[in-house]
């Protein structure tokens, strides 16, 4: 269904119209590309950053047609309940693309800046430019002239760093961007200070460059999710002192650690023990250099690297830190859509969030209810695990194949 792009340079004038354009570079888009290329799923009864282990089992991270264990070294195959590292999963997805011959469907180093319908463009573009685009739409076959096409703008970044703009048209667009683009912020005073970071990769970089060490002031880690737990484990491995702050009580049933089986996730159980046994005000030396602050939140960050913490009863504590890591989740970056895509969510007045406000779709076709011929899959619609994206890819593929068949039958009937 997808035309082969012999050259990975996209046109600037809208002279190319594609049946389906997929936005995203993760497993969702890869899986959909696989199915749209003609591959079909089969029944598999057995299937169910850095050096941290993934939450899911290795087999759950697989895409159809290629087993992950075949791409992982022999010494890793029996690693702790068949769990693998994110680095290994990333390598597997890259290998999947080449192994299945999907490279032709990918245009690397491309950034989308605008996605809108041509009839929306017509309201804002000058007449000459609008005429060229509409004329091109009328020239396209397969019913493109009778449907509103999508205008896709962006730029490609060359190996020399030069950005080249592109403009293409698409009959259908699939959003498969994931939700890890925009870290959630606390919104408190001083959060923009240089020692306050919002990703675990920044912490790893600071360790590599010796900006934090076992001899430095403690690192403040904010959050009670798995990413924050990974940061705690990383700091503990290097002997870096940690002040761990989170809003919930350790016994809160909604805390992710209270939902994970201890046997399957021993390292996260260890973090939970640290949070429980070694909080501020208790004398315990089980985990040297670690102190937790349950039911606390950050009130402000100061330029002199002092952080003001506030307990649930408004009692405040001031701590000195070398670095602060705010790891409380992430949201998708949908700046190429009107209103950042909020009008497409379950609640149009709230920003898009995989947990609280996913995109509103048809449950079987994954087509957005507010925008015909615009689809979404993966975390954007609440499917937060790789093992779920196959269903989204299958639903979209089934919908597009049926519509393509119907259009073909209409043409033949004439």
Over residues 95-130, the pLDDT tens digits come to 888 888 888 888 888 999 999 998 765 555 554 554
Nearest residue to 298 via CA among 317, 280, 281, 321:
317
Would you say 101 and 66 are in contact if contact means Cβ atoms under 8 Å apart? no
Q: CATH classification of 185-328, choosing from 3.40.50.720, 3.40.1260.10, 3.50.50.60, 1.20.1280.50?
A: 3.50.50.60
**pTM value > 0.85:** no
210/392 Cα distance (integer angstroms):
44
397/29 Cα distance (integer angstroms):
12
Backbone angles phi, psi at 210, to 5 degrees: 60, 30
SS (H, E, C) the chain: CCCCCCCCCCCCCCCCEEEEEEECCCHHHHHHHHHHCCCCCCCCCCCCCCCCCCCCCHHHHCECCECHHHHCCHHHCCCHHHCCCHHHHHHHHHHHHHHCCCHHHCCCCEEEEEEEEHHHHCCCCCHHHHHHHHHHHHHCCCCHHHCCCEEEEEEEECCCCCEEEEEEEEEEEEECCCCCCEECCCCCECCCCCCEECCHHHHHHHHHCCCCCCCCCCEEEECCCHHHHHHHHHHHHCCCCEEEEECCCCCCCCCHHHCCCCCCCHHHHHHHHHHHHCECCCCCCCCCCEEEEECEEEEEECCCCEEEEEECCCCEEEEECCEEEECCCEECCCCCCHHHHHHHECCCCCCCECCCECECECCCCCEECCCCCEEECHHHHCCCCHHHHHHHHHHHHHHHHHHHHHHHHHHHHC
Identical fold, 17-39+100-179+331-413 and 185-328: yes
Radius of gyration of the chain (CA): 24
pLDDT at residue number 288 = 87
Q: CATH classification of 17-39+100-179+331-413, choosing from 3.40.50.1110, 3.40.190.10, 3.50.50.60, 1.10.238.10?
A: 3.50.50.60
CA-based torsion, 144, 146, 147, 153: positive or negative: positive
pLDDT at residue number 73 = 62
Token reading at 135: 């004329």
281/237 Cα distance (integer angstroms):
24
Token reading at 307: 């952080």
249/252 Cα distance (integer angstroms):
5
pLDDT at residue number 51 = 46
In sequence order, what are the residues at sequence separation of 6 or more whose Cβ sits closer than 8 angstroms to the Cβ of residue 299? 188, 189, 308, 309, 310, 316
pLDDT at residue number 399 = 95
pLDDT at residue number 191 = 97
150/373 Cα distance (integer angstroms):
9
Backbone angles phi, psi at 27, to 5 degrees: -60, -30
pLDDT at residue number 145 = 39
pLDDT in single tens digits along all 414 residues of the chain = 344 444 467 888 888 888 999 898 777 888 888 888 876 554 444 443 444 444 444 455 677 778 877 776 644 544 445 566 777 777 888 888 888 888 888 888 899 999 999 876 555 555 455 455 555 544 444 444 345 899 999 999 888 888 999 999 999 999 998 877 789 999 999 999 999 999 988 999 999 999 999 999 999 999 999 899 999 999 999 999 999 999 999 999 989 899 888 887 888 899 999 999 988 877 666 788 999 999 999 999 999 999 999 999 999 999 999 999 999 988 899 999 999 999 999 999 999 988 889 999 999 999 999 999 999 998 899 887 655 667 888 899 999 999 999 988 888 887
Q: What residue ranges do the domains of the chain occupy?
A: 17-39+100-179+331-413, 185-328
Would you say 361 and 376 are in contact if contact means Cβ atoms under 8 Å apart? yes
């Amino acid at each position: 269904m997808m035309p082969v792009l012999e050259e990975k340079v996209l046109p600037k004038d809208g002279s190319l119209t594609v049946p389906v354009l997929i936005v995203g570079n993760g497993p969702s888009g890869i899986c959909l590309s696989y199915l749209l290329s003609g591959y079909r799923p089969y029944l598999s009864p057995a299937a169910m950053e850095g050096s941290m282990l993934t939450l899911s089992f290795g087999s759950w991270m697989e895409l159809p047609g290629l087993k992950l264990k075949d791409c992982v070294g022999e010494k890793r195959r029996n690693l702790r309940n068949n769990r693998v590292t994110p680095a290994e999963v990333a390598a597997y997805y890259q290998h999947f693309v080449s192994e299945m011959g999907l490279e032709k469907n990918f245009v690397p180093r491309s950034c989308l800046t605008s996605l809108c319908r041509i009839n929306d463009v017509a309201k804002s573009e000058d007449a000459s430019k609008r005429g060229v685009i509409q004329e091109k739409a009328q020239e396209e076959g397969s019913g493109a002239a009778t449907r509103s096409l999508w205008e896709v703008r962006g730029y490609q970044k060359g190996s020399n760093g030069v950005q080249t703009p592109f403009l293409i048209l698409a009959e259908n667009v699939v959003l498969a961007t994931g939700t890890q683009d925009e870290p959630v912020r606390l919104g408190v005073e001083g959060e923009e200070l240089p020692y306050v970071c919002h990703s675990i990769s920044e912490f790893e970089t600071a360790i590599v460059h010796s900006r934090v060490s076992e001899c430095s002031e403690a690192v403040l880690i904010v959050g009670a999710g798995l990413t924050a737990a990974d940061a705690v484990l990383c700091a503990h491995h290097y002997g870096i002192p940690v002040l761990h702050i989170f809003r919930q009580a350790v016994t809160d049933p909604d805390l992710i650690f209270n939902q994970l089986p201890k046997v399957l996730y021993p390292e996260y159980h260890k973090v939970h023990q640290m949070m429980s046994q070694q909080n501020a005000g208790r004398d315990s030396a089980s985990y040297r250099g670690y102190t937790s602050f349950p039911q606390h939140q950050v009130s402000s960050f100061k330029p002199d690297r002092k952080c003001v913490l506030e307990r649930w009863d408004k009692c405040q504590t001031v701590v000195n830190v070398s670095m602060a890591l705010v790891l409380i989740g992430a949201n998708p970056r949908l700046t190429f859509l009107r209103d950042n895509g909020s009008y497409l969510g379950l609640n149009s007045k709230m920003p898009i969030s995989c947990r609280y406000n996913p995109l509103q779709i048809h449950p079987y076709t994954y087509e957005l209810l507010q925008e015909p011929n615009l689809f979404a899959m993966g975390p954007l619609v609440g499917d937060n695990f790789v093992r779920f994206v196959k269903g989204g890819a299958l639903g979209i593929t089934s919908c597009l194949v049926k519509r393509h068949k119907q259009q073909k039958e209409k043409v033949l009937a004439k």
